[in-house]
């Protein structure tokens, strides 16, 4: 009876040693055009005594990204990136070739090393910390390195950041875009652009332009329509639409002063 028990135990152990469910792995190669990777399982098998045997390289492994036929999210996989590897209940050759359903595959193997697919993101140690409350997409030069770009989405805002040099924030109907020297702000009917020295503001019907040194308009033709047109400051009336004649024909007074109005 003991012999039968030992046989059943040894057979069961052997059988389950050939059944594979999931393992962590490391990418050695990746082809973005085919979305197939070569993966080295991270763990080794215990072969008895103090011996451990590595799993073979897994070839032509489909990589699972979020997506459909019309939409996708994709990011590069590099050598050394860690993934979760899963082993299919049935053989995958035919499915790899055609996809969809109704595939007839006569191969009897199950949970085999040949039938792996993987998902990026299984990282026990070297991962980018995402500590903001919301959905984050973060790109750094390395897991603990400098920020390259980031998208943050919460219940109250959407924020995009590039190299800490450019930032766009959306909150309700308020949009702010900033660089190291310039800011654009939009809220309701209000729009403003500034570089710290010069500013353009529009507010529901009025537009204001402020220049620290000079405001210049260059065009073959300039047309200004509306009601009263006023210029304040020193006026040079020798040329232009408001005063083609330097002096008044009746009084001889110069057509200059602190304000000019015309309709």
Mean pLDDT for back-to-back runs of 10 residues, the chain (263 residues)? 69 73 96 97 87 95 95 94 96 89 86 95 91 91 93 95 95 95 94 94 90 88 74 55 55 56 49
Burial category of 28 from C-beta neighbours within 10 Å (exposed 0-12, middle 13-18, buried 19 and up):
middle
Quick one: pLDDT at residue 258? 47
What pLDDT is attached to residue 240?
A: 47
Q: What angle do CA 102, 68, 148 make, to 5 degrees?
A: 145
Return d(Cα 86, Cα 114) in angstroms, integer: 11
pLDDT for residue 255? 57
Cα–Cα separations (whole angstroms), residue 197 to 167, 178, 201, 212, 232: 20, 15, 13, 6, 21
Rounded to a whole number of angstroms, the CA Rg of the chain reads 35
The contacts of residue 181 (CB under 8 Å, 6+ apart) are: 195, 196
Which pLDDT score is estimated for 242? Answer: 52
Q: Tokens for 49?
A: 């005594």
Q: Compute how many other C-beta atoms are within 10 angstroms of the C-beta atom of residue 94.
A: 14
Distances (CA, A) of 136 to 118, 121, 150, 151, 245: 22, 14, 7, 6, 65
Backbone angles phi, psi at 246, to 5 degrees: -60, -35
The predicted pLDDT at position 164 comes to 85
Distance (Å) of CA 107 to CA 110, 113, 185: 9, 14, 63
Domains of the chain: 2-120 (2.40.50.230), 135-210 (2.20.220), 221-263 (no CATH)
pLDDT at 251: 63
User: So what's the pLDDT on residue 26?
Assistant: 97
CA distance 113 to 57: 9
> Are the beta carbons of 88 and 117 closer than 8 angstroms?
yes
260 forms bridges with which residues in the sheet? Answer: 231
Alpha-carbon distance of 165 to 13, in angstroms, equals: 59
Given a contact cutoff of 8 angstroms between Cβ atoms, the answer to whether 89 and 104 are in contact is: no
> What is the spatial distance between Cα 58 and Cα 205, in angstroms, rounded to a whole number?
66
pLDDT of residue 241: 47
Q: Which alpha helices (DSSP H) does the chain contain, by range?
A: 2-17, 93-98
Among 159, 165, 132, smallest CA distance to 147 is for 165
HSE at residue 247, side-chain half, CA atoms within 13 A, is 5
- Centroid of chain to Cα 211: 36
């Amino acid at each position: 009876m003991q012999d039968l028990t030992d046989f059943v135990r040894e057979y069961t152990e052997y059988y389950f040693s050939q059944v594979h469910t999931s393992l962590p792995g490391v990418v050695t190669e990746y082809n973005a055009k085919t979305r197939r990777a070569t993966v080295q399982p991270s763990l080794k098998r215990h072969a008895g005594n103090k011996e451990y045997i590595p799993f073979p390289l897994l070839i032509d492994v489909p990589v699972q990204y979020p997506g459909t036929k019309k939409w996708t999210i994709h990011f590069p996989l590099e050598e050394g990136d860690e993934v979760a590897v899963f082993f299919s209940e049935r053989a995958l050759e035919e499915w790899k070739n055609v996809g969809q359903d109704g595939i007839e595959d006569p191969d009897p193997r199950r949970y085999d090393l040949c039938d792996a697919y993987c998902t990026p993101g299984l990282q026990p140690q070297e991962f980018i910390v995402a500590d903001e409350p919301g959905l984050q997409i973060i790109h750094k030069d390395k897991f603990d390195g400098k920020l390259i770009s980031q998208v943050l989405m919460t219940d109250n805002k959407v924020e995009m950041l590039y190299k800490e040099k450019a930032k766009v924030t959306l909150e309700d109907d308020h949009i702010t875009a900033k660089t190291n020297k310039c800011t654009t702000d939009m809220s309701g009917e209000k729009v403003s652009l500034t570089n710290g020295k010069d500013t353009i503001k529009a507010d529901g019907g009025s537009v204001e332009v402020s220049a620290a040194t000079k405001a210049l308009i260059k065009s073959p033709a300039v047309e200004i329509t509306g009601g009263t047109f006023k210029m304040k400051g020193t006026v040079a009336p020798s040329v232009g639409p408001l005063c083609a004649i330097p002096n008044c024909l009746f009084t001889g007074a110069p057509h200059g002063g602190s304000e000019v109005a015309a309709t």
